[in-house]
A and B are shown apart, each in its own frame.
Chain A
Amino acid sequence: MMWSVITRKELKDALRDRRALGALLLFPILGPVMIYFMFNMIIDIAEEAGEVSLPVVGAQYANDLVDYLEQNGIEIETVNLNAAANPDSDFYSEAQLEEIREAIRSRRFDFVLLVPEKFDKLIGASRSSNIELHMESTRTTASPKIGRVDGLIQAWGRETAALRLITRGVNPAVIAPVNVVRVDVASQQSRVQSILGMVPFFVIMAAFVCGMGVAVDVTAGERERKSLEPLLVNPVPRYTIVIGKWMAAVVFSAVGLVLVMILNFFSLSLVPLEEVGIVFNIGSLEIIGVLVTTLPLALFAPSIQIFVGIFAKSFKDAQAYLSFIMMLPMAPFFFNMLNTQDREFWMNFVPMLGQHMLLTDVARGETPEIIDFLLAGLTLLFFSLLFVYGASQLMKRERIIFS
């Protein structure tokens, strides 16, 4: 095949290019390393949420509640305030509240439970009392702990109410006509879905980054070196030349894809996911599935880059255009982040979006439909051939030999 003569020559050239090789090897490492560290952070947070320490002001006013919390594994940390109390009121003074706010702002505490002096008295008299949980809601690391404390206090409240009713001979069911029972059907894996959602992003990105150097070099680079005109003098159709050059970039892109995939699985297997009760099982079937899903990306990304490389007037020109093209892989990522509706059939026909969905499914441990695989793959193939055709047309312009 004539195009393979061109491909082999371009690959030989690219393999001697340290810059192109650097991009090929460095980028695929980046994503998996990031994912590894982010997972470790999440696991740390999850482990911390298991052992909650709760700062309480006025713990002595809520003996029953504090006992209940301690029985449920919350460690109570009694906080004594320095600011003066308000002698006229039975609640905390403004100075005391400010002291608490300051303690949270300065990150001494993430949250503080505030028990009013009359709490036990009011509860004992079958009345109700406020109890204040001061927190900084933007501090995401604390939110699972706050949720746990909040839930336990609510549960204690329900128990207390039930006891009150029983002593009055009323069935507690009277005031609790409905009990919401949460049954979580999400597989364990979807807990880490937010991070796994980055895997497809890095994979799609790798397809673009790893082949780009070669794609630009064999097109705009060749023109700038003034080696294009001698090449075009040979009795080889222009489309053969374009296909040969395209395939060289495809090889780099595909190697990058496979590398990023292997490294992703490797980094996920290094993370102690089982410590937070997550089983991440990727078998050989999934790996083959992911490869089949993503390899069309290695055709697609270089096809755009070759097109742009031939369209551009110079190497610099091409790089400027391609920095915009590099934004493309982010589009399906952001779409998926903002998109709240379910997967729809038409999404298969949007280049890269289909792949993104499929990869997300696999990362979540779900098996996508064969038809989705096929349609998403064929869509990319169609667009790749379209760009290669366009590139061949551009290559036929007379302008191509003038720089």
Chain B
Amino acid sequence: MIEVQNLTKSFKDLVAVDGVGFHARNGAITGLLGHNGAGKSTTLRILYGLLKADKGRAMVDGIDVMTEPLKVQAAIGVMTDAHGLNPRLTAREHIEYFARLRKMKKAQIQRRIDELIVTLDMGEIADRRAEGFSQGEKMKVCLCRSLVHDPQNLIMDEPTNGLDVMTTRSVRSILLKLKKDNKCILLSSHIMQEISALCDEIVVIADGKVLMQGTLDELARRTDESDLEEAFMKITRRG
């Protein structure tokens, strides 16, 4: 469970996040929807402990990220916006590295990685070096890394950005399965289809402010637009 209250963050003169508040419950996929530069990434970075908020609170499972960032990081899996890999390490070694950093046992690591490789259909690239991986293959490795410790909360920054249809679909099915396992999933996106296909809750962000939070139906009702894109345009224009 993730809860954010009145989060504010400025870089010099630029107010990137301005009093953002929302919550993401277990067993649901919550989507942060907004333009590029709306403050989605900054909000997520505060949540996973890489940036310090000037004001406000961010809690994961009741733990405050300001006071106990390492505990929060232990309770979440994160897929960052950056998908860099070490070109000389294999996919399996990348995942293993993160599993070790999360203090998993050796036998447990191998079992878990084999499981993920099957789920994400990565058998072919598992023992290949990352040099020359396609964007989709890189993202799969990143997704595996963020899931290897089976976190209760999953935070993803633009998880399907630049993926082909096949991979996007397999990512979607994984997220839906995690949701069924009562995990809390928070993702950001600027792609309407993505959000409307996946998310139970939608948080619309523009200029660092939350303009609206609700289900797809609620947003449609409150804007009188059945199409999310139209609804989004209406909301952000009004903001």
A residues near B, CB below 8 A? 2, 5-6, 9, 12-13, 16-17, 222, 225-237, 398, 401
User: Chain B: interface secondary structure?
Assistant: loop
* B88 partner residues in chain A, CB cutoff 8 A: 13, 16-17
Shortest Cβ distance from B105 into chain A, in angstroms? 13
Q: Tell yes or no: B83 within 8 A of A by CB.
A: yes
Shortest Cβ distance from A393 into chain B, in angstroms? 15
User: Would A401 and B142 count as touching, CB distance under 8 A?
Assistant: no
* A231 partner residues in chain B, CB cutoff 8 A: 101
Q: Tell yes or no: B74 within 8 A of A by CB.
A: yes
User: Would B73 and A5 count as touching, CB distance under 8 A?
Assistant: no
What is the bound-complex CA distance between A3 and B81, given in angstroms? 25
What is the bound-complex CA distance between A234 and B100, given in angstroms? 10
What is the bound-complex CA distance between A16 and B145, given in angstroms? 22
Q: Tell yes or no: B166 within 8 A of A by CB.
A: no
User: Would A226 and B101 count as touching, CB distance under 8 A?
Assistant: no
Q: Tell yes or no: B191 within 8 A of A by CB.
A: no
Q: Identify the closest chain A residue to B97 (Cβ).
A: A9
CB-CB contacts of B63-101 with A at 8 A, as 1s and 0s?
A: 000000011011000101111111111000100011011
* A9 partner residues in chain B, CB cutoff 8 A: 89, 93, 97, 100
Q: Tell yes or no: B25 within 8 A of A by CB.
A: no
User: Would A234 and B89 count as touching, CB distance under 8 A?
Assistant: no
Q: Identify the closest chain A residue to B71 (Cβ).
A: A235
Q: Tell yes or no: B233 within 8 A of A by CB.
A: no
Q: Identify the closest chain A residue to B131 (Cβ).
A: A16
User: Would A234 and B73 count as touching, CB distance under 8 A?
Assistant: yes
Q: Tell yes or no: B49 within 8 A of A by CB.
A: yes
Given A13-B88, A227-B84, A229-B80, A234–B101 Cβ distance below 8 Å?
yes
User: Would A233 and B142 count as touching, CB distance under 8 A?
Assistant: no
Given A13-B88, A230-B142, A236–B101 Cβ distance below 8 Å?
yes
User: Would B78 and A235 count as touching, CB distance under 8 A?
Assistant: no
Q: Tell yes or no: B50 within 8 A of A by CB.
A: yes
Shortest Cβ distance from B134 into chain A, in angstroms? 16
* A398 partner residues in chain B, CB cutoff 8 A: 50-52
B50 partner, pick from A6, A222, A227, A229, beta carbons under 8 A: A229
User: Would B82 and A227 count as touching, CB distance under 8 A?
Assistant: yes
CB-CB contacts of B107-145 with A at 8 A, as 1s and 0s?
A: 000000000000000000000010000000000001001
8 contacts between A and B (CB under 8 A): A16-B88, A17-B88, A222-B84, A225-B87, A228-B84, A234-B73, A236-B70, A398-B50
